[in-house]
Amino acid sequence: MTRRSLVRLWIVVPLVIAAAGMMVVLVATGASTPAEQAGSYHSPVDVAFSPDGKWLATCDYTAGEVALVDPAENKLVRQVAVNGEPAGLAWAEDSAAVYVAERSSDTVAVIDPAKGKVTKRLDVGRRPTGLAMVPNRKWLLVTNSGGDDVSVVDLATGKEKGRVAVVREPVAVAVTPDGTRAVVANLLPAGDATDPTLSAAVSVIDLDKLERIADVRLPGGSTSLRDVAVSPDGQWAYVVHTLGRFTLPTTHLERGWVNTNAMSIVRLAGPEAPATQPANTTPPAKKAPAAPAVPADVFSGKPELYATLLLDRVTEGAADPWGLALSRDGKTAWVTLAGVHQLARIDLERLHPLLAGQIPGSMKKTLDELNRYRQAGVQVTWLDIKADRKNREQLANDLAALHVAGALQRTPLTGAAPRGLDLAPDGKTLAVAMYFSGTVLIAGAPGGEVAATITIGKNPPPDLARRGEMIFHDANYCFQHWLSCATCHPSGGRADGLNWDLLNDGMGNPKNTRSLVLAGQTQPKMAMGIRPDMETATKAGFRFILFREPQPEDLDAVNAYIRSLKPEPNPHLEKGKLSKQAQRGKKLYDDPKIGCAKCHPAPLYTDMKPYDVGSRGKLDRPGDKFYSPALTELWRTAPYMHDGSSPTLKAMLTTKNKDDQHGVTSKLSEEELNDLVEYLLSL
């Protein structure tokens, strides 16, 4: 980050000399409630109005049900049991059926709302999550978060037309109005974590060719892409995500130092209409020369990142943006801020002219104020964009831009953890799924005021683990609300793919995020064993990452939640068993001559001892040793090694193991390497 960027973030770096702790953070794709609690609680994670406006469906993730609501009466009509973990919804164009992603069974259920029952199931890929209909084609798109691809289902036959590979853990998809392109939100980045530009991407699919035509990388540190929407004219795609400042040490949270929260705009089509600069002052009596036309932005024709804007305030974060909906005219975007329990309203009609370099005449007073700031030597991004639209990239570091523009409104909601949302067909009301409250809020679209609360199911008092899950996802436990415990360990306590300099072992030597699954059984904690156990690490995480002194009862709850996290059924298994390729790989893994099992013995796949395996990088200290990590769920914890420098397992076994210091793999054939990798992915 440049000095200029730091000024825009209004950051003053304090001298902090502390032994920081584990970043205890958790995000879940629909949340990951422990298996033993499934069905005990009602947890709405997504909502969708039928096109005719007669139904409102919601996914009740932990109860394994789809609730059907009469929006005219704001009344729950019926609940339909599905095959566990309903994660996403899409309605048929004629409102005769609602499609439900059954994440844990790799299927999509088709529900007849009038009859209140499942009429058929569609086989799709691994861990289906997000759904979208393709206009006029009778196709259904399904993001398979466990397979890194998108299923294209022909609803006329109920069969897949094909699958399109994307980047990593796709969780949401939107389609252009003409049905020619799909835009996919990939939850996590894929690549070398030592790369300061590492970020998640938005994938664009050509639906005529069923080919991925672009991966639009967001600013470095972007991760947890949760939802995506396409403008009614098909020109823009909007995606919400977190934006980690992972190249900086986590010395303090103030003013976005560690994490910010954003909405990015991807340009899908163009060109922009030629823009002229409107007058900002009362014209003089004499005729003034005409203002010169501002040339339209040059558009390459290939999808590209247009701008990234922060949803935070200068001294208050907007932790964990989750759901996204657009008004039918494309003038307004609505975003749920799950970590701070708020609803954000973004005035796109006001915003886009500013992004194009125009200062509307209606902002005359604001323009005068901006000019005064400029004269005082303060960086003013909107004026910079007016001078040169390439300066839009500065918005990713400007905490005040949306507020200065008068384009952002944030409204507190009743309940906890808003997730999915949808706008009614008439554009007058919003439905918001409140995950931990077991409710759906009905809010007025103009201002976001709550008009009704629909109870999907009465929740029992939370047990210790459920309370810990709620704390994990609540940014009110963090100084200035920049992040919750649900920001850097996505998908139920796993890893975000980024490196963080947490000061556990000094400053300037970042480590890759580790999964929290089975964390209570693998001691000590952190890559260098700096914390003796999970409980110590959790307490240190509150103190030095959330910057809060935790209460004992809060620590007990969070620790109970971490202990409750269990490995999910592995999508690389075939009916729960190793494939033939993985069986061959297991023989290699267990072979003493190769030595994998020596340091990573079953069942935890770690001996919990420190080693020098030649993995020290430029930022590590001479003599540093690193504890062997557990290999559980390797399929979802890339990149690998303590510094995240191996994007894939194959790279870890080859380019990162030339001296055979973590397994004697240099003499393995290409086929044997592939077999070993397949076994590791099956753990």
Q: How confident is the model at residue 315 (pLDDT cuts 50, 70, 90)?
A: very high
Task: Name the residue with higher pLDDT: 209 or 37.
Answer: 209
Domain span(s) for CATH 1.10.760.10 in the chain = 570-683
pLDDT recorded at residue 271: 59
pLDDT recorded at residue 296: 59
pLDDT > 70: percent of the chain: 90
pLDDT recorded at residue 209: 97
- pLDDT tens column, 362-419: 777 677 777 887 787 767 899 999 999 999 999 999 999 999 888 999 999 999 999 9
Q: How confident is the model at residue 38 (pLDDT cuts 50, 70, 90)?
A: very low
CA distance 365 to 206: 45
Q: Please compute the mean of the pLDDT values over residues 447-475 and round it to a whole number.
A: 92
Residues 251, 253, 254, 255, CA torsion sign: positive
Domain span(s) for CATH 2.130.10.10 in the chain = 35-281+294-464
Q: Which residues contact 293 (CB under 8 A, 6 or more apart)?
A: 274, 275, 276
Asked if 553 and 560 touch (Cβ cutoff 8 Å), the reply is: no
pLDDT recorded at residue 404: 87
- pLDDT tens column, 137-195: 999 999 999 999 999 999 999 999 999 999 999 999 999 999 999 999 999 999 999 99
The letter for the amino acid at 125 is G
Q: Give the number of other Cβ atoms within 10 Å of residue 92's Cβ.
A: 17
Q: Please compute the mean of the pLDDT values over residues 631-643 and round it to a whole number.
A: 93
Q: Please compute the mean of the pLDDT values over residues 92-109 and round it to a whole number.
A: 96
Kindly report whether the global pTM for this prediction surpasses the value 0.75. Answer: yes
Q: How far separated are the first and last CA of the chain, in Å rounded?
A: 38
- pLDDT tens column, 326-347: 999 999 999 999 999 999 999 9
Q: Does domain 35-281+294-464 have CATH number 3.20.20.10?
A: no
pLDDT recorded at residue 59: 97
Spell out the SS3 assignment of 12-42: CCCCCCCCCCCCCCCCCCCCCCCHHHCCCCC
pLDDT > 90: percent of the chain: 71
Place of tokens 């399109």: 164
Task: Name the residue with higher pLDDT: 29 or 353.
Answer: 353
CATH architecture of 570-683: Orthogonal Bundle (1.10)
CA distance 391 to 370: 16
Q: Is the pLDDT of residue 80 over 60?
A: yes
Q: Is the pLDDT of residue 324 over 50?
A: yes
Q: Kindly state the helix (H) or strand (E) to which residue 556 belongs, with its residue range.
A: helix 552-564
Helices (H), 210-347: none
Q: Which of 571, 576, 572, 602 is CA-nearest to residue 589? A: 602
The letter for the amino acid at 625 is K
Q: Please compute the mean of the pLDDT values over residues 276-280 and round it to a whole number.
A: 37
